[in-house]
Structures are given as C-alpha cells and as structure tokens.
Structure 1
Amino acid sequence: MTGRTLLSKVPEVTVWFWVIKILCTTVGESFADWINMTLGVGLIPTALIFTAVLAVVLAWQLSLRRYVPFVYWLAVVVLSVTGTLYTDILTDHLGVPLALSTSAFAVALGVVFAVWYVRERTLSIHSIVTRPRELFYWLAVLITFALGTAVGDWTLQLTGWSPGISVLLPVSLIAVIAVGWRLGANAVLSFWLAYILTRPLGANLGDWLASPQSQGGLGVGTAITSAVFLAAILATVGYLTVSRSDVVESFNDRGPLVTTNPGRERILLGYFLVAAVVTVAVLAWAGARPHEAANDGEEPDAPVASAPALAGSPAPASAHFPASDMARFRSIVDGTLGKVRSGDQAGAKSQISDLETAWDTDESTLRPMNEAAWHHLDSQIDSALHAVRANNPDTSVEIQSLTALSNSLR
C-alpha cells in the first residue's frame, strides 16, 4: 500500500456506531431464531441459508469503493446471525462444550489478529482502506460474533443468571473499557474488547425483552422485539446516510492514526487485566452458588423431577388447549425421544431447543386458556430440557422425562 490518500470502507467510531452495533446484534439473533425455531427450518439449513446470504452481502460490500451505511450495516447484521449460528451448531448439534468453543474462537481470533498485524502493521478500524485489510476486518468481525455468542452462553451456563441480570455483566465491562480508553488505554485494544462484548450485551438484551416473565424476561416476545429493533436500525441508518456524520472521507497512510503514550498504555493494560481477574472471580463465585442453568446454552446437570411429579394432569392437555398445538409439541418431543434412544445426543439437544422456542412463542396464547394446566406442562418441559441438556445426561432419566411429557401432551 502506498502513502496516497484512500477512501475508508468503514464508519467513524461514534456513539451511533455502538448503538447500531448492539441493535444489529439483537435483531440478528432474533431473526435467526425465528427462521430456525418458529418456522421450523432447522439449525443446519438456517446456517446454510445465511452463509449463502453472507457471501452475497460481503461481495456487495467488497465491490464498493467507499463506506455506504446501508450495505455496511446489512453485512454486520448477517455476520451477527451467521456467527451465532456457527456457535450454535458446535454447541447444540455437535455437542461441543462451550468452554472448548470459547477457547477455540479466542485462539482463532488471536491468529487472525496476529497475521493481520504482521502483514499490515496495524489493526485499527480507521485503516480499512485496502482489500486485504477489509478481508481481515470482516473475518475478525465474524469470529468476534461467534466468540461473543460462546462467551455469553458459557456465562449463562456457569451462573444461571436470568436474562435481566446477565445484561449487567457486559454493560459493566464495556463501561470499564470506556473509562480505560478515556484515560489513555490503547485505542485499538479498547475497540476490539468492546466490540466482542457488544455481542453478549445485544443478545442478552434481546432475551430480556423477549423472554416470558416466568423466565425473568419482560415478556414482550421475539416478534415485537425484532420489529422494534429493526425499525430502530433502519431509522439510525437513514439518519447516518443523510447526515454522513460517521463518514471518514480519507485516510493518509503516512502518518500515525492516533497519538499514543506507551507508558500510560502499559499502566492501563494492567487495569484491564485487573478487570479480567475480577470478572473471573465474580463468575467463579456465581457458578459456585446453587442455581438452575440457563436455557440459552448447554446446561449443567440439574435435578430432574421424579416419576410421580411427572405424572399427567387430571385431564389431557388437549382438553385445555388446541389439539393441533399439542400434537405439534408432542411431535417434537417424540422426535427428541427417538434420537435419545438411538444414541444421537447432539440431535436430541438440537430438537429439544425447537420445543423450547415453540412453547415460549405460544405462551401468550396458551397460558390465558388455563393457567394451572400451562404451568404443569411448563414444569414438565423444563424437566425434559434439564435432562437432555445435562453435561452428563442419563439416558434413563431422559427417556422417563420425555415419555411422561409426551403422555401429558395427548
């Protein structure tokens, strides 16, 4: 690359950048869940669809000569969805522990950064003015979404926090990073740390809004949450397109990007390390306390209700709820039961997630029909989820839970 002035392919990092990044993360995950779970497309087909869409959108982005807000943020949304799906495939379909996938994505991101820096001598977002740098940038963004998904799910698994409580951790860490940056921490390091953390923040925020109140959420629902966040994204992108307030017209490769103070950066690197140690201590403390694992990721062993507790309600579920809905839920349960009996634990985990999403989606319709019957089935579904998602699942317990649930859904 020469020292001539070139056009930038990415936006200026302003408050709008962070707002829309979080919005994209939230609506991206909700949209993926809607296609995967609500429409019943399935995890692998959904991932293939979005991989194809990603190829088209990135080709469009790479063909442009300058930053175009709509195309850039469309690429971010699709990358958010795709990165999340890749992590979900490892966790739900292949049964890879979240600790392992988190470590693998962290190593992969480190390798990308290392190769990027050796080749280009900078990792700054302000230097994305050549094709190689742009390719490194988008690869890093994809991995940060996958890593952020794994970190967020692993945190929920360790702590059992509700969606509302879980929002506080990434918010606090981003605030710590912002303070460090203001005090003189390395700007590039601060940017990428915050960028990774916006993924669990956006996802947890979406879960908090969409999840039923019985699960610690606000009960808004995925459809309304996705619609509101999508509208906010479109409004923000429209504003940025008109105002051009985040456009970096040019970049001069001859001069330094920022004024640095190496001594202060070393001190504040220690500050970041202390924050990391405190975070690990908080997670260890929360993980040691009795709790039920969150439903977002793979769950640790949890007690499963005994056979008497799983007995059917006095009347069949179809007496309280539409028979067609119960037949749909029972089909998922029976499919999961079949996979457990055949030894396909990864497939069982993936399919039981379809039941969880379908049940949560229909809560607003079914629950008012018969509150007591709904809670009875909800308890049985939770027991089945715990049994199938346990770190060391007991096949007999899984079969018992799923069989009892299938009988209750008749």
Structure 2
Amino acid sequence: MSSTRQDDVQRPFRRYLSKTPEISVFFWIIKILASAAGDPVADLLGTTAGLGLAITTMLLATATTVVILIQFSAARYVAGLYWLTVVLISVMGSLVVDNLTDILEVPLGVTVIAAAVLLAGTFVVWFAAEKTLSIHTIDTGRRETFYWVAVALTFVLGTAAERLAVPSVSAVAGLVALLVAGLASRVRGVPALIPFWLAYLVTQPLGVAVSNLLSEPRDAGGLQIGVAGISAGILAAVVALVRYVSATHRDDPSLDNTRRPW
C-alpha cells in the first residue's frame, strides 16, 4: 500500500492527534475573549507602557513566532499552548492593522479587501493541496500551516473591518452573524467548514467591538475602563476557561461526529 493511501486509511483514527480543539460553546467563548484581547493588549504595551508601535510589534512578532514553533513541535493538542497562540495572533492582528494604517497609510478598506483575497486564496491552495478543509484532522505540518495562516488572516480582516464601523453596530452585526453561522451548521447539506470559518471571522470584530465599548467614555455609552483593566480582566477570563477545559477535557479532539455540528 502506498504511503499516501495508507495515510488516507489511517487518518480517521488520527483525529486523536489533531492539533485543534473540539468545537464547543467553550471554544467560541474563549475565541471571543481572545479577539477582545487584541486591541487593549496592543495599546497597553505600545501606548500605556510607552514602548511605541515599532518596538511592540517586534516584541510581539518574536513572541508569536516562538510560540507558533512550539505549537508546531507539539505532538498533540495542548489547550494552553493552542490558546496562547490564538491570543498572540489576535494581538498581532491588531498590530498589523495599526502598522498598515499608521505607518504605511494603507486605507482600512484596502486592508479588508487584501486580507479577504488572501484568505480566499489560502482556502483554495489548502483544498488543492489536501483535498479537504477539515478542521478536525489538523494532524500534519502542512495542514497546520494552512490552518494558522487562515486564522491569522481572519484576525487581520476582522480587525480592519470592525474599525470601519461603529463599535455598537459591529457588536450587534457580529452577534447576529455568529447566530446565523451556528444555525447554518445544523442545516443538512451545508458544508461544516462554511459556518465554522464564518463564525471564526465574525467573532473577531465582535470581540474587538466589545473591548472598544468597555474602553469608550461613559458619555459615549462605554464603561471607560482603562486598557490595563480590560487586558487583565480578559486575559484572566481566558486563563480560567482554558484551565477548566484542560482539567475537564471538554475540548479534546473527538472521533464522535454525531455531536459535532461544525
């Protein structure tokens, strides 16, 4: 039996080796929190701590690269490592948009279009190379590369798109889109990857809008919480939830397709 054929036969049993978590309500809650952490953490380091955009970007890019390399070297899904990677990519997504807007003076609309085209191109190349876009069999280095590139592009696209809209509108639109994606995932005949990536994308502007509303002045309808407080609160919530799913194994990769809507 050829190595390719043998790999195809064994793949269903290798889902236990998948490097991505089971998609559950905990996944989406942590994802929204991770999305909400991007802007305040970037502002905390760049503005409040006085590091500036350039130094903050270099530091976060270095940290993100190191963590991603560790993530790739892991033999299986590790909740803490996976979500640390997501949080860092969230912050980097904010910093990328900041650099494009403030340093290179790229209009937000151009960033949205470019990120959308790159994301679509990633899915095309991913499918051409792997003949699947399954998020439940991220069990090879190449599939994991495609997965994280797609994730990073959703953060950039979602952040830029949110900045084009009013925060309250983004929050409502993101919540509605997330609910629609959830319902679509349960409709027979709809490919699971479509509602998943739609939900993954819209949770980014939703999270950013939530963090913006928390930091907005009271007379503008916000809670006027400083970036330090927002960052600490969001990161503490992420840590608590990740510790919970790690202890309970609620998000371990599963072979049970009957309980998997995504």
Q: Structure 2 length normalisation: TM-score?
A: 0.90
Equivalent residue, structure 1, for 2:181: 177
Deviation (angstroms), 1:208:
0.6
- Residues 11, 247 of structure 1: 8 Å contact kept: yes
SS at 1:74 equivalent = helix
Bigger Rg over Cα: 1
Q: Name the structure 1 match of 2:54.
A: 44
User: Contact between 1:84 and 1:149, CA under 8 Å: does it hold in 2?
Assistant: yes
In 2, distance between residues paired with 1:166 and 1:90? 21
In the other structure, the counterpart of 2:191 is: 186
Say whether the 8 Å CA contact 1:178–1:190 is kept in structure 2: yes
Q: What is the match of residue 19 of structure 1?
A: 29
Tell me which residue corresponds to 1:71: 81
Count of residues in Structure 1 that have an aligned counterpart in Structure 2: 247
In the alignment, is the contact (CA less than 8 A) between 1:209 and 1:217 conserved in 2?
A: yes
Q: Give the Å deviation of 1:216.
A: 2.8
Greater shift, 103-112 or 221-230, is seen at 221-230
Aligned ranges for residues 56-205 of structure 1 at < 5 Å? Answer: 56-154=66-164, 156=165, 161=166, 163-184=167-188, 185-205=190-210
Structure showing greater relative contact order (alpha-carbon pairs closer than 8 Å, 6 or more residues apart): 2
Q: CA deviation at 1:45?
A: 1.8
Report Cα offsets for 1:260-315 as digits up to 9, x if no partner.
xxxxxxxxxxxxxxxxxxxxxxxxxxxxxxxxxxxxxxxxxxxxxxxxxxxxxxxx
Once the two structures are TM-superposed, the CA of residue 91 in structure 1 deviates from its matched residue by 1.2
**Residues 147-296 of structure 1 mapped to structure 2, 5 A cutoff:** 147-154=157-164, 156=165, 161=166, 163-184=167-188, 185-248=190-253
- Corresponding residue of 1:298: none
Q: TM-score, normalised by structure 1?
A: 0.58
Superposed displacement of residue 218, structure 1: 1.6
Return the alpha-carbon distance in structure 2 between the equivalents of residues 117 and 8 of structure 1: 18
SS at match of 2:212: helix
2 CA distance for matches of 1:47 and 1:149?
A: 16
The equivalent of 1:263 in structure 2 is none
Task: State the percentage of identical aligned residues.
Answer: 41
Q: Tell me if the contact between 1:69 and 1:237 (Cα under 8 Å) persists in the aligned partners.
A: yes
Q: Deviations over 1:96-155 (max 9, x none)?
A: 11111111011111111111000101112112011100011011111110011111112x
- What 5-or-longer segments of structure 1 have no aligned partner? 252-256, 259-410
Aligned partner letter, 1:74: L
Distance 1:36 1:168 in 2: 29
Q: CA deviation at 1:182?
A: 2.1
CA distance in 2, matches of 1:61, 1:193: 24
Q: Report the CA distance between 1:222 and its aligned residue.
A: 1.9
For residue 226 of structure 1, what is the amino acid of its counterpart? S
Indicate conservation of the 8 Å contact 1:11/1:67, yes or no: yes
C-alpha distance in 1 between matches for 2:173 and 2:35: 17
Q: Distance in 2 between matches of 1:77 and 1:120?
A: 27
1: CA distance, partners of 2:254 / 2:27? 16
